[in-house]
Chain A
Amino acid sequence: MQTHKAKRVAIIIEQVMQSRLTDAMADAGVTGWTVLPVLGGSGQSGTWSREGQVGRGTGMVQVICVIRPDRLDALLEAAFAVVDRHMGIVTVGDCEVLRAERF
């Protein structure tokens, strides 16, 4: 089956920043993303778990989007402007999609 090259960007970020990030992504021309809950983890800011969170102040989410390679720089610039000062991690990977016109 014919596949097309694309980029998969995964951004783990604080829950309070989610709407700010997705707004910035929309402004950068990204039309689709998926938000996943994060159960826990550990990093430079210490160990974190979803268990026992009473507010959304300390929660984390993962925002995933798949885009055409030529849109990657615009997305990263928009995302970095939002996440720069915050906890989180941004990863970019190669992937292939079946319906290129959707990205």
Chain B
Amino acid sequence: MDQILSLAATNLLSPIILSFALGVAASLARSDLNIPEAVAKGMSIYLLFAIGFKGGVSVADHGIDGTLAASLLAGIILSAALPIVAFGLLQVMGNLSRLDAAAVAAHYGSISIVTFVAASSVLDGSGIASEGYMVAVAAAMEAPAILSALWLISRGGDNRRMDPELLREIMLNGSIVLLVGSFFIGWITDIDGLAKIEAFIVSPFQGVLCLFLLDMGLVAGRGLRGGSGVLKPGVLTFGVVMPLVGATIGCLAGLLLGVSTGGVALFMVLSASASYIAVPAAMRVALPEANPSIYLTLSLGVTFPFNLTLGIPIYVAVASALTGG
């Protein structure tokens, strides 16, 4: 418990979390503070490239073993199974329509890459190693949840199919292409490649992450302001309970696979996080009748801040305690 509190305190007072808090506070206070759209997009490209590249270098440096394929498979299974758990929880906790519940569930099976980046940064700061290929696991967990949500809907008699164009858009969305592409560049170029661009992708990383999380804070604050009346108490509670349930399942998967302490923590983070980029776009195409205010506010305004502030320290501390790391 002491370890969790200590990690939580360190995390809460870190520049990245304080930057996020500044964004939320500024937005709730209706400040005109604003990060231009193009700058935010540029920063997200930088962060994805850096995290993917470093993951690839790590794999090249340490080599690959049997857990790589098993971890990828586990990620796909987790992403497909978590929406079913979330859907069941929502039936008990929330009073949502089947469509809204399935749309929300899809978000909780998929992942938040920003939460993953923040968790990786916390692990680096704490000196806890993780498997470089977790970047690829993150990419693999983006899409299966969407198929599960459509299956949940079809079980209710409403047959929705994934059209090939939507599948192509999900599999080739910019974040996945950049993350996987930079991962392979890092893997191919190895430590020599990293040495050439280290000044660009290592040293400025924390500073860029601070500014990016400032923007995410502004976005989350706006979401909370606009969607505060949309979420009923049961659904709001789900936004905090589901990450903990997901993290528990992710923890079991990580322990079964025998990955490192950092790997278990990242499995927990991926399973606990909720998408707010890829899945909302897919839901607007596949389930347009579902209310976007519910799933966006829940994912971006409730679960994302929870994971960023309290969730990550809890997951890292639990992973450390269970693996003896």
Contacts and interface: CB of A to CB of B under 8 A. Distances in A.
Contacts of B236: none
Contact of A54 (B276, B285, B289, B293): B276
A57 to B, nearest CB: 3
B54 interface: no
Contacts of A93: none
Contacts of A51: 34, 222
Contact of A52 (B165, B222, B285, B292): B222
Majority DSSP secondary structure for residues of B touching A? helix
Nearest to B281: A57
Interface in A32-83: 46-47, 50-58
A17 B165 CA distance: 11
Contacts of A52: 218-219, 222-223
A10 to B, nearest CB: 20
Given A46-B293, A52-B219, A52-B222, A57 B288 contact: no
B66 to A, nearest CB: 35
Contacts of B222: 51-52
A85 B165 contact: no
A62 B320 CA distance: 51
B284 interface: yes
Given A16-B281, A87-B288, A55 B276 contact: yes
B298 to A, nearest CB: 14
A58 B284 contact: yes
Contact of B289 (A53, A55, A85): A85
A20 interface: yes
Most chain B CB within a 10 A radius of its CB, from A16, A19, A57:
A57
What size tier do the contact residues of chain A reach? 10 to 19
Majority DSSP secondary structure for residues of A touching B? loop
Interface in B161-185: 165
B314 interface: no
Contacts, number: 51
A100 B125 CA distance: 66
Interface in B253-294: 276-285, 288-289, 292-293
A55 B285 CA distance: 14
Nearest to B284: A16
Contacts of B277: 54-55, 57
Given A51-B222, A52-B219, A57 B289 contact: no
Interface in B277-323: 277-285, 288-289, 292-293, 296, 300
Interface string B186-222: 0000000000000000000000000000001011001
B226 interface: yes
A56 B218 contact: no
Nearest to B223: A52
Contact of B283 (A54, A56, A57): A57
26 contacts: A14-B284, A14-B288, A16-B281, A17-B284, A19-B165, A20-B165, A20-B285, A47-B226, A51-B34, A52-B219, A53-B219, A54-B216, A54-B276, A54-B277, A54-B300, A55-B277, A55-B280, A57-B277, A57-B279, A57-B280, A57-B281, A57-B283, A58-B280, A58-B296, A86-B284, A87-B288
Given A54-B276, A55-B281, 18 more contacts: A16-B285, A17-B284, A17-B285, A20-B165, A46-B293, A47-B226, A51-B34, A52-B218, A52-B223, A53-B37, A54-B277, A55-B280, A56-B281, A57-B280, A57-B281, A57-B282, A57-B296, A58-B280
Interface of B: 34, 37, 40, 165, 216, 218-219, 222-223, 226, 276-285, 288-289, 292-293, 296, 300
